[in-house]
Amino acid sequence: MRVLKILFGFALLATVFVSCHVEEVVVVEDPYIDPAPSITLNQLLNTYELWYVDINRSNASGQIPFMQIAFTLSFRNGDVLANNNLVGIGDQGYGFGIPVGFYDAYDFVLDISHDIDGFVTFDVTQLNDTEIELYNPDLGLRYVLVGYQRSNFDYDLLFYENIHYFVQEYTAWEKFSTMGGAPNEFDYEHFLQFLPGGGDGNFQSSQDPVGSNVYNLYWYYTGVYNVDDVPGNAYLKYLTLDYDYLGNEYFELNVINDNTIELFHETSGTVYTFKGRGYIEYKSGRGKLRIPKATIEKKMKKISSI
């Protein structure tokens, strides 16, 4: 019995010793530090010189005019620059376009004060290495922007993919010359004007004498126009003038330069050259508002069903 008590006493002492030893162990953990963002929004915006506004991937419907009108946006030292026009694109403002307002970037919020359209705020989400999304919570609009450097941005491709907007950038196109072909009714058309509207847009034509003031023309005919691609030739387009009540005229449209276009009238074989008169510089919602191709196609289906 004494032996058992002695053994029990040793076991109890060992247990107390181990317990005391465990209580003396202090575990020190490193304090949690919330990781700082690897890049600020301002740094992100300045990663690329140009942000192409991919209107076909945006649920935009025209409520923010300066976003609808811009082909590219740039954010430089607090200034917002935009390529709103196709005339002179790549050269205007060294490729950046024209100044249109100011911006402030903090956290992931982008505030833009546009010179004409006023203040607009966006929540910014980085989609991947080259794309961001601007979301306006007030209107529920999303715009997808794709980043480029000026050196690798294809200004020519942008130009030819948007010829239907390019022809709207002059108050009127004046016929400069007529070459060859059989006589036809279009010989009497001396001015064309392209406007936003159904299809790619609306058009008007005038038979006023060449040299007339383009701001005082009488428009004899109206209708809807459409510009389509020519398979295998990115630099040539088909132009259809759908006259109200008078049928259609079909042309091959060739852009000579920012101020000159050539129309080949397929029916008569005549080549007409037109010069742009009264350049329109876009800075606000006046004039064109870019809309997704899907919306244009819906408009054309609606027009063709009438």
Q: Where are the domains of the chain?
A: 41-160, 163-304
83 contacts: CB under 8 Å, gap ≥ 6 = 50, 70, 71, 72, 89, 92, 93, 95, 96, 97
Beta bridge partners of 141: 136
Amino acid 199 reads: G
At which residue do the structure tokens 């196109």 appear? 173
Cα–Cα dist 216/200, whole Å: 25
Cα–Cα dist 170/69, whole Å: 16
Q: What is the pLDDT of residue 219?
A: 97
Q: What is the pLDDT of residue 142?
A: 93
- Fold match flag (41-160 vs 163-304): yes
The fold of 41-160 is Lipocalin (2.40.128)
Q: Please provide the average confidence, as pLDDT, over all residues in the chain.
A: 85
Cα–Cα dist 18/106, whole Å: 56
pLDDT > 90? residue 285? no
53 contacts: CB under 8 Å, gap ≥ 6 = 67, 70, 71, 72, 73, 143, 144, 145, 290
pLDDT > 70? residue 304? no
Cα–Cα dist 186/209, whole Å: 14
Give pTM, 2 decimals: 0.80
Cα–Cα dist 55/113, whole Å: 21
Give the distance from CA 133 to its chain's centroid.
12
The fold of 163-304 is Lipocalin (2.40.128)
pLDDT > 80? residue 81? yes
Q: By the 8 A CB rule, do 223 and 249 touch? A: no
